[in-house]
């Protein structure tokens, strides 16, 4: 009986054993595993938050790097501009210095020229008239004829004995044309004489003074035919330095129209 009871009890215990074990496992899992899972979940959230923070930090670093590169680019550009400005300033300084040198040289040249002109004017005051020669022209004409050229050939020989001389060539007209036309005509007549003297006889142009006076400074009365003929003239006056011979006047007449 007792054995039967023991066997029954043992069988009952064996039968209940799985149920007893199952209840113990669930309690263990609930007491142990669940908190771990919660901590793992919390850790995962923390990890994600940290990853997000790291990502934001990386983006911030990238933006900072971009700004740094932009600042470096601006600094490089500013440096290049500063270098260019320094070069331009140096070039400007060089140009200014060159300008000062040129201005100084120009001042010296002008001073030297002024002295030369003053010297020439002073020496001119000591020049004396040696000879006066005349060539006559047809009415309204400014061309030289053969007689006028022969007259100038003779007159220019008077220059050769002198080293320091000047020649005045003055053109004139009668009063048969308007004043402005006569002034232009007198200049053309004087230019014709100067052109002949400088090209045919190589008279130095810097020793020649030329002017046209129109119908001013009449040599004769314009009321007569002969008077108008004498007024259509060019006078060539030779001046030399120092005491010289008495002035002489010669002329070649050409028929008037």
Phi, psi for residue 136 in degrees, rounded to 5 = -105, 155
pLDDT tens series, the chain, 257 aa: 545 444 544 444 444 444 444 455 556 556 665 666 676 567 667 767 777 777 877 787 678 777 767 777 777 877 788 788 788 878 877 877 887 787 678 777 767 766 666 665 555 568 899 999 999 999 999 999 999 999 999 999 999 888 889 999 999 999 999 999 999 999 999 999 999 999 999 999 999 999 999 999 999 999 999 999 999 999 999 999 875 544 455 555 554 44
| Residue 246: predicted pLDDT | 47
| Residue 5: predicted pLDDT | 44
| Residue 63: predicted pLDDT | 81
For the chain, what's the residue count?
257
Asked whether 129 and 237 are in contact (CB, 8 A), the reply is yes
Report the distance separating Cα 160 and Cα 250, nearest Å: 18
pTM for the whole thing?
0.50
């Amino acid at each position: 009986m007792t054995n039967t009871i023991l066997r029954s009890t043992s069988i009952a215990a064996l039968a209940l054993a799985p149920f007893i074990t199952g209840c113990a496992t669930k309690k263990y899992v609930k007491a142990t595993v669940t908190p771990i899972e919660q901590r793992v979940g919390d850790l995962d959230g923390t990890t994600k938050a940290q990853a997000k923070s790291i990502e934001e930090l990386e983006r911030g670093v990238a933006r900072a790097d971009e700004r740094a590169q932009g600042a470096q680019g601006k600094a490089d550009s500013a440096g290049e501009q500063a270098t260019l400005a320094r070069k331009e300033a140096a070039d400007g300084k060089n140009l200014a210095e060159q300008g000062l040198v040129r201005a100084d040289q120009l001042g010296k040249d002008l001073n030297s020229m002024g002295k030369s002109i003053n010297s020439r004017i002073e020496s001119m005051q000591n020049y004396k008239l040696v000879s006066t020669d005349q060539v006559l022209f047809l009415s309204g004409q400014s061309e030289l004829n053969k007689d006028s050229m022969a007259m100038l050939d003779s007159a220019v020989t008077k220059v050769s004995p002198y080293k320091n001389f000047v020649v005045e060539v003055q053109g004139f007209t009668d009063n048969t044309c308007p004043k402005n036309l006569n002034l232009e005509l007198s200049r053309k007549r004087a230019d014709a004489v100067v052109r002949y003297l400088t090209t045919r006889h190589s008279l130095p142009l810097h020793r020649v003074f030329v002017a046209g006076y129109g119908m001013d400074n009449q040599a004769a009365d314009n009321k007569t035919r002969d008077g108008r003929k004498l007024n259509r003239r060019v006078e060539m006056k030779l001046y030399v330095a120092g005491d010289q011979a008495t002035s002489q006047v010669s002329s070649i007449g050409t028929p008037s129209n």
